[in-house]
């Protein structure tokens, strides 16, 4: 890190200027390209990255350059841990890092940040994912069930923690299913009316729910009852009785 090493100047969207060693800056393929094809002395404007984010990114690049060059005595395991701590930031910062890594074309950082987000998705049910990332569910109930059915029947994608769907029941039908206590249950009667009513109280588990039907004045009244019976080892038997009156 002597005075003979080349430095590159970077200006961010909020007018902060960073003077960075070339070896560190060219971890970004974008900056590398600009530097090699433009005037080496001028300032490179990094329009879409703020000072705070660029600062973090440069920390990352510096750490990785130094460890690769042997300038820093850090084992692969320690570097891995350093990376893990690097991404322990709030969600907004994480997304900013992804966007910046994408624009600046820093592949290892893009992989690291995207993997982190993927880890936030793993093991979660769809509604949990929506909550985590504040995403609006734009599926209709029928569309969502169609996807669920296609996933399970065709492509063997098992539902989240056991999704039980009882479909196509005729009026005045007694039906039952056995489900584990973490299941979700969705019931669709033969005349396409979606069963409603939360049975979570009965089932004593908050993760069992039944979809609510949208308000519709022409909807026939539905009388239904749901009973449950404990069959042991975490499984319950649910009895549904439908009666539809037109």
Of residues 69 through 128, those in contact with other proteins by CB under 8 A are 91-92, 95-96, 98-100, 102-105, 110, 114-115, 117-119, 121-126
Establish if 228 lies at the interface with other proteins (CB under 8 A): no
- Among positions 6-25, residues that touch other proteins (CB under 8 A) are 13-14
| Nearer CB in complex with other proteins: 66/104 | 104
Report how far residue 221's alpha carbon sits from residue 152's, in angstroms, rounded to the nearest whole number.
Answer: 31
Task: Enumerate the β-bridge partners of residue 224.
Answer: 242
| Nearer CB in complex with other proteins: 79/164 | 164
Establish if 46 lies at the interface with other proteins (CB under 8 A): yes
Establish if 179 lies at the interface with other proteins (CB under 8 A): yes
Specify the stretch interacting with other proteins by CB under 8 A; choose among 61-69, 76-84, 208-216, 230-238: 230-238
Establish if 39 lies at the interface with other proteins (CB under 8 A): yes
Fill in the DSSP letter of residue 80: H
Report the residue from 170, 196, 219, 229 that binds other proteins according to the rule CB under 8 A: 170
Burial letters for 130-140: b for 16+ Cβ neighbours within 10 Å, e otherwise?
A: eeeeeeeeeee
Minimum distance, C-beta of residue 49 to other proteins, in the bound complex (Å): 6
Report how far residue 142's alpha carbon sits from residue 35's, in angstroms, rounded to the nearest whole number.
Answer: 54
Minimum distance, C-beta of residue 193 to other proteins, in the bound complex (Å): 17
Q: Specify the 3-state DSSP secondary structure of 118.
A: helix
Please answer whether residues 185 and 238 qualify as being in contact, where contact means their C-beta atoms are separated by less than 8 angstroms.
Answer: yes
Please answer whether residues 94 and 116 qualify as being in contact, where contact means their C-beta atoms are separated by less than 8 angstroms.
Answer: yes
Residue 220 is encoded by which pair of tokens? 């026939």
Fill in the DSSP letter of residue 15: S
Report the residue from 49, 109, 203, 208 that binds other proteins according to the rule CB under 8 A: 49
Please answer whether residues 235 and 180 qualify as being in contact, where contact means their C-beta atoms are separated by less than 8 angstroms.
Answer: yes
Minimum distance, C-beta of residue 68 to other proteins, in the bound complex (Å): 23
Specify the stretch interacting with other proteins by CB under 8 A; choose among 178-186, 200-208, 210-218, 221-229: 178-186
Task: Please compute, for residue 205, the number of CA atoms within 13 A of its CA located in the half-sphere on the CB side.
Answer: 18
Please answer whether residues 117 and 94 qualify as being in contact, where contact means their C-beta atoms are separated by less than 8 angstroms.
Answer: yes
Minimum distance, C-beta of residue 13 to other proteins, in the bound complex (Å): 5
* Count of residues touching other proteins (by CB under 8 A): 85
Query: The dihedral of CA 88, 93, 94, 99: what is its sign?
Result: negative
- Among positions 127-156, residues that touch other proteins (CB under 8 A) are 129-130, 133-139, 144, 147-156
| Nearer CB in complex with other proteins: 1/158 | 158
């Amino acid at each position: 890190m002597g005075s003979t090493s080349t430095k590159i100047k970077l200006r961010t969207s909020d007018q902060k200027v960073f003077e960075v060693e070339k070896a560190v800056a060219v971890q970004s393929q974008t900056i590398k390209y600009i530097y090699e094809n433009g005037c080496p002395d001028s300032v490179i404007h990094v329009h879409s990255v703020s000072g705070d984010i660029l600062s973090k990114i440069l920390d990352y690049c510096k750490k990785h350059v130094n460890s690769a060059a042997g300038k820093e005595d850090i084992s692969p395991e320690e570097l891995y841990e350093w990376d893990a701590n690097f991404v322990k930031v709030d969600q907004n910062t994480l997304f900013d890092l992804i966007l910046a890594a994408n624009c600046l074309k820093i592949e290892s950082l893009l992989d690291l940040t995207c993997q982190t987000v993927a880890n936030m998705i793993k093991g979660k049910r769809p509604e949990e994912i929506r909550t985590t990332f504040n995403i609006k569910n734009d599926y209709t109930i029928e569309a969502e069930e169609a996807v669920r059915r296609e996933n399970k029947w065709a492509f063997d994608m098992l539902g989240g923690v056991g999704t039980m769907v009882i479909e196509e029941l005729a009026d005045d039908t007694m039906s039952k299913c056995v489900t584990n206590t973490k299941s979700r249950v969705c019931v669709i009667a033969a005349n396409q009316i979606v069963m409603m009513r939360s049975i979570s109280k009965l089932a004593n588990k908050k993760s069992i729910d039944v979809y609510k039907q949208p308000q519709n004045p022409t909807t026939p009244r539905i009388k239904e009852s749901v009973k449950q019976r404990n069959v042991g080892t975490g499984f319950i038997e649910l009895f549904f009785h439908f009666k539809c009156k037109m």
